[in-house]
Amino acid sequence: MNRRFALAIATVALLATSAGCLAYATGGGEVANETLDADPGGEYTFDTDRDAAFIVTTNGTYRAVYDVSEQDEVRLYEGTVYAGDQPLEFEAFRYQYPDGEVINGSEFRARGGEVERTPDETWIRFADGMDGGKVAISGAGSPRRFTSLAYVEGSYAVTLPPGFSTDVPVVGHVSPRAYEVETVGDRDRIVWESVRRSIVVQSYRETDLVIFGGILVVAVAVAIVGTIRFRRQLEALREARREMGLDVYDDEDENDGWL
């Protein structure tokens, strides 16, 4: 019996290892040109004064522009608690040359650039003659909680949708803490002079404060009504005990507040 059990365990372990190796071997490869050439859903702000600039929208997407002028390659990944590093999912890849020319992903590859996905990350590698440019991508992200790792070091900016803010603590949060908020038209723009690891922006729609306030008022009212009802029930129970001739004294009622 023990030998059979050991054999079964060994078989399961072998299958699991084989599946893991197969997943690793087949999890990489190039990102499809159709994905790279997709429409970003808006214009990229290549003229940004930041090393990394994000525009977050209300439809659950963001557009990012990175200054890669001093890099030969960029590693894009997301850290997870249980699965470790995972490749960053994105689309609508664009590359801008220093002279302002913008090309899509398939043209980027045709000119010698690489966009390769492995089970752990996505690599963007630049060909000769691609020095001093910028990379733009689009991905999934919510203004209510937007996070990103720092794929390039330097200054960062996150532009929120119109009507969103981070001013009120608890519902609004920004990290790193050394930031400033600029107003650009009808939008808040959060800027950092230096980011090394990651950014977190938790914002709220300003009209949400009315809803939060209403919920708070209702919660307080329910608590008050519940307290009054409890005290009335408690007093009724005390009165019933008095009528039954049980030991209930007025001084105990006033001191301890319990039966």
Instruction: Encode pLDDT of 57-88 as tens digits.
Output: 999 999 999 999 989 999 999 988 788 899 99
Provide the residue count of the chain: 259
Please give the torsion angle defined by the CA atoms of residues 218, 220, 221 and 225, in that order, rounded to the nearest 10 degrees. 140
Radius of gyration of the chain from Cα atoms?
Answer: 29
pLDDT value for 259: 47
pTM of the complete model = 0.73
Report the 10 Å Cβ neighbour count for 233: 10
What CATH number is given for 31-205 in this structure?
2.60.40
132 phi-psi bin (left φ>0, alpha ψ -120 to 50, beta other): left
pLDDT in tens, 131-168: 999 999 999 999 999 999 999 999 999 999 999 999 98
Residues of the chain short of pLDDT 50, as ranges, are: 1, 5, 7-8, 12-26, 252, 258-259
Residue boundaries of the structural domains of the chain: 1-28, 31-205, 208-256
